[in-house]
Amino acid sequence: MTRALRIIASNPMSLAGLLLVLLIVAAAIFAPWVAPFPTHNTAVIDFAYANQGPSARNWMGTDLVGRDIFSRILYAYRISLGLGIVVLIIAAPVGTVVGLLAGYLGGWTESVLMRLVDVFLSIPPLVLAIAVLGVLEPTLTNAMIAVTVMWWPWYARLVYSIARSEREEGYVLAAEVIGAPTAHIAFREVLPNCLPAIITKMTLDMGFVIIIASSLSFLGLGVQPPTPDLGSMVAEGARYLPDSWWMTVFPGLAILLAVFGFNLLGDGLREVLGVDE
């Protein structure tokens, strides 16, 4: 662990990624304490300060009803990160189990499971999520469900390809020869060899989940107002371009910053853990 940290710290880009991620996670956790206007995550109205550009009072300006954009961005990070964590905590294990079973067991199980994965992968990811949300009510929970539904097959495919090549390795054959139970071989022997790739993918995917989730709320299919969300903030502000540019630009940059951080960190992890691109 300390070795991994040292390697990440020795590369300026990975280090920047780690610091960015820590900064954003801290901002999300401590939002109620560090936000200049901690009540602005609700339907507060303060017309006296409505639609104002960046100033000493409101670093990133205010929205149409006078809420502080900076405070709302901090709260929106809570939603984005929370959603990302929930989605990955469900999607990664589900996909891993499917991929592991298909890759290690082979035969019948392999054909059925991987065809199923193919089906999910043959609808563009965003469109699948949009379709699921289209028939459910647009809420945070349903957005999580929609994104999870489109996400697990990617883990299945990743783990499947590793498990399939590991199946032929000597240590697996040896375990089979001594009669180890199938579940033991799959989860105790094969799975650990998939972990570096899974961890790297989860880091990179935090960024992608943030992109997809904000895309859904940009289309009005995700988190509903007054809860602050980066995607819906951009959408709302886009109607008042170019005059009230701060309403879109700052939430947009907030997405960029967070995803960039996770990507830098993920790239660094890939090197540390020796995962192929």
Partner 1 sequence: MSSVLRILLRRLGISVIVLIGVSMLIFAIARIIPGDPARIALGPNATAEQVVMIRTEMHLDEPIVAQYGHFVADVLRGDLGTSLYTNRPVTTDIAEFLPATLELVIFAGILMVGFGLPLGILAARHRGRWPDHVVRVLTLLTVSAPSFVWAVILMLLFAFYLPLFPVAGRLDSAYDITRVTGFLTVDTLIAGNFGAFLDALHHLVLPAVALALSGIGQAARLTRANMVETYDKPYIEMAEAYGFFPSRIARRYAFKPSLIPSLTIIGLDFAAMLGNAFLVEAVFAWPGLSRYGVAVILRKDLNAIMGTVLIIALTFLVVNIIVDLLIAFLNTRIRHSTRGAT
Task: State the residues that interact with partner 1 by CB under 8 A.
Answer: 13, 115-116, 118-120, 122-128, 130-137, 207, 211-212, 214-215, 218-221, 231, 234-235, 238, 241-242, 245, 248-249, 252-253, 255-256, 259-260, 263-264, 267, 277
CB of 11 to partner 1, least distance (A): 11
**Neighbouring-strand partners of residue 68:** 62
Closest CB to partner 1 among 5 and 13?
A: 13
Letter string b/e over residues 219-240, b meaning 16 or more CB atoms within 10 A of that residue's CB = bebbbeeebbbbbbbbbbbeee
* Nearest residue to 231 (alpha-carbon basis) of 206, 251, 261, 253: 251
125 or 196, CB closer to partner 1? 125
Smallest separation, CB 37 to partner 1 (Å): 24
150 or 191, CB closer to partner 1?
Answer: 150
131 vs 180, beta carbon nearer partner 1: 131
Which C-beta is closer to partner 1: that of 190 or that of 216? 216
Minimum CB separation of residue 201 from partner 1 in Å reads 14
Q: Output 172 or 215, the one with its CB closest to partner 1.
A: 215
Q: Is the dihedral of CA 237, 239, 245, 251 positive or negative?
A: positive
Q: Are 28 and 77 in contact (CB under 8 A)?
A: yes
14 in Cβ contact with 268 (< 8 Å): yes
Report whether 80 contacts 258 (CB < 8 A): yes
CA angle 145, 277, 106 (to 5 degrees): 65
CB of 192 to partner 1, least distance (A): 25
Contact between residue 80 and residue 233 where contact means Cβ atoms under 8 Å apart? no
Please, are residues 226 and 43 in contact by the beta-carbon 8 Å criterion?
Answer: yes
Decide: 61 and 73 in contact? Cβ < 8 Å.
no
Find the shortest distance in angstroms from Cβ 191 to partner 1.
25
In the complex, least distance from residue 99 CB atom to partner 1, rounded to whole angstroms: 18
Q: Least distance in Å: CB of 254 to partner 1?
A: 10
The nearer residue to partner 1, 11 or 193, going by C-beta atoms, is 11
Direct distance between the N- and C-terminal alpha carbons of the chain, in angstroms, rounded to an integer = 22
Residue found under tokens 């990179």: 204
